Chains A and B, each alone.
Chain A
Amino acid sequence: MQHGYWIRSKPVYTSLAWQYRAQAHMVLAHGEAGRAVLRLYQQRLPEQPVSVLYLVGDEEADYTASLRALAGDCLLTFTKQEALWAAFNAALASACMGTRLYAAGNEAFLWQVSTLAASHGVLHADIMREQPASLARPVYCVHCKTITPHVTTNIAVCSGCQRHLFVRDHFSRRLGAYMGLMVDAEAPGEVPAAEEIYP
């Protein structure tokens, strides 16, 4: 099923680096991706105001203490996604022109940041994104339109309709998800073994 070509809608992520020509900086990270923010703080700090919004993840991946030591009062931590998005939304509403955005986390997180920012007129191209930890994919079932979070295999069961979906590289930034297509549509029941290729 693997096609011998690259699908250009698949986003390419980079390592976060301060953009020094700016008026302000806003950094968002989730769980394990807090490490990407620590790495950012090893670069020369910008002179403009910085704020860090950190969504605490599972207990083994909590970088709150290290981030607090480096970012001090610039750090806001959250334990619930909804609270983080509300705070981000409010921050965007009062942000000035020239505010640089940085996001680190899994893809669902990165594109939630992008979607919210876009609703305030920020272009996708103007956000730096890093995916330092899990490659797990949110997968949109093209048949029943359910998004199954955190898929680590090339074939996965849809959490909505229970079909076996082949996870394509085709990615929608608006949905923040990859396309899943019924893998045994042509020959029902012939489901190849799933391989964990997005751990």
Chain B
Amino acid sequence: MNNLAYKLETFRDDYTFRNSPDAIRRFPFPFDQDHYMYSVNIEPHKPGAPGSVFEHTFDIDEHYVAECADKALTLAQDKGRYAALPHMMDAQWDFLELTMESLARDYPDQFKLSKEGERWTWTNLPLGIEDSFIFGDASTLPMEPLEYMGRQVQGDFVLLDQREGTLFADAGFITSQADWSLAFDIGMAWHEWHGPVPQVEKMGVMERALKFLLSLQQGSPVRRLNWTMTINPRLDTSPEHYPQWGPDKLKVTAENAGRKAHLRVELQGLFRLPRSNAILFSIRCYLMSLEEMATYPRWIKRFHRVIRDLHPDLLEYKGIKVYHAPLMAWLAPHDDGEELPLGTQPE
């Protein structure tokens, strides 16, 4: 995907966001079976098939320019979406280095990075940015390194500091979150910020995931998929702006669910960073309406079964409960009960 055509579209107000047929086909559909429950579904973040969302370290797609514009809007409304505790500056430079080097390597027609010693020049052609700066000297950048590159890569980013046998969320750039607050959670330890997630406590999922991550090695990043649902293709489903998007959940009907209800998949990456020993937690959000999903009958049938049988705690936690009935009314006619083989691939 080195000759991307970037779409002009919005993630708020008139919601003109749509996926092209190609974007639907490469969508990271997360359900490999008809039932869903949390698991430690972590795998190595190795380059995947060409054209897939796993091909590159950070996936840049047709929504790149529009998503970066949406980030800027959200930050302008609420400065608290970017926050970093003072001891995280080394980790911020780690983040800048990883994102710049990855993008310049994976999309050489779009992004360029040149280095003369500590003097780096970064060129972002899609956004029309070119800056020279001294690596390690934040005063030579227009803003702190995490905010600078957080604005230029799709998705959200959290920098986790490792100490006291756990991970602390001590810096973040969060504009497309599924209902959690950086301003509230910053500085929290692993078990605190995962506190609200239901069912995982008794399953021991968080305990095992933490143990795994504490020994994460440099050069061996890992990834997992997570998912929820969002009404309208909205990136900023934050608790801060809940009064803006909360009412939409009550407007779902059996007629409009196909257009309004979206599967929201997070491609989460975890990278050990070299200077700070921090971990970068990247959260890339993919949205797909049910109408788009239905272009692949295998997906929509499976999705119907997952939602139909989802644990009540998860229905509540993911905010689906209030529109579960109209959602089911839309989904059920798409499912003929055909037995589906295991696997996430489309037809």
Contacts and interface: CB of A to CB of B under 8 A. Distances in A.
B313 A4 contact: yes
A172 B185 contact: yes
Given A8-B194, A179-B239, A188 B184 contact: no
A145 B181 CA distance: 11
A123 interface: yes
A179 B191 contact: no
B164 A185 contact: no
Contacts of A12: none
Interface string B240-278: 111100110110000000000000000000000000000
Given A3-B316, A145-B80, A8 B243 contact: no
A182 B246 contact: yes
A64 B164 CA distance: 38
Given A3-B313, A143-B240, A186 B201 contact: no
A5 B314 CA distance: 11
Nearest to A140: B184
Interface in B175-217: 181, 183-188, 191-196, 198-199, 201
Contacts of A3: 196, 198, 313, 316-317
Contact of B187 (A10, A143, A172): A172
Contacts of A188: 243, 247
B322 interface: yes
Q: Looking at A7, A8, A172, which has the most chain B CB atoms within 10 Å of its CB? A: A8
Contact of A9 (B164, B192, B240, B241): B192
A174 interface: yes
Contacts of B196: 3, 7, 9, 168, 170
A8 B250 contact: no
B89 to A, nearest CB: 18
Interface string B108-130: 00000000000000000000000
A95 interface: no
Nearest to A143: B240
Nearest to B319: A186
A170 B246 CA distance: 19
Interface string A158-197: 0000010000111111110001011001111000000000
Given A5-B201, A185-B246, A142 B195 contact: no
A194 B279 CA distance: 42
B195 A170 contact: yes
Nearest to A125: B164
Nearest to B187: A174
A5 B250 contact: no
A163 B183 CA distance: 19
Contacts of A182: 242-243, 246
Contacts of A175: 184
Interface of B: 80, 164, 181, 183-188, 191-196, 198-199, 201, 239-243, 246-247, 249-250, 313, 316-317, 322
28 contacts: A3-B196, A3-B198, A3-B313, A6-B201, A8-B192, A142-B181, A142-B184, A142-B239, A142-B240, A143-B239, A145-B80, A168-B196, A170-B195, A170-B196, A171-B195, A172-B184, A172-B188, A173-B187, A174-B186, A175-B184, A179-B181, A179-B184, A179-B239, A182-B242, A185-B243, A185-B246, A186-B247, A187-B250
Interface of A: 3-10, 123, 125, 140, 142-143, 145, 163, 168-175, 179, 181-182, 185-188
- Which 7 A-B residue pairings sit nearest by Cβ, starting from the closest? A185-B246, A9-B195, A9-B192, A174-B187, A8-B195, A186-B246, A7-B195
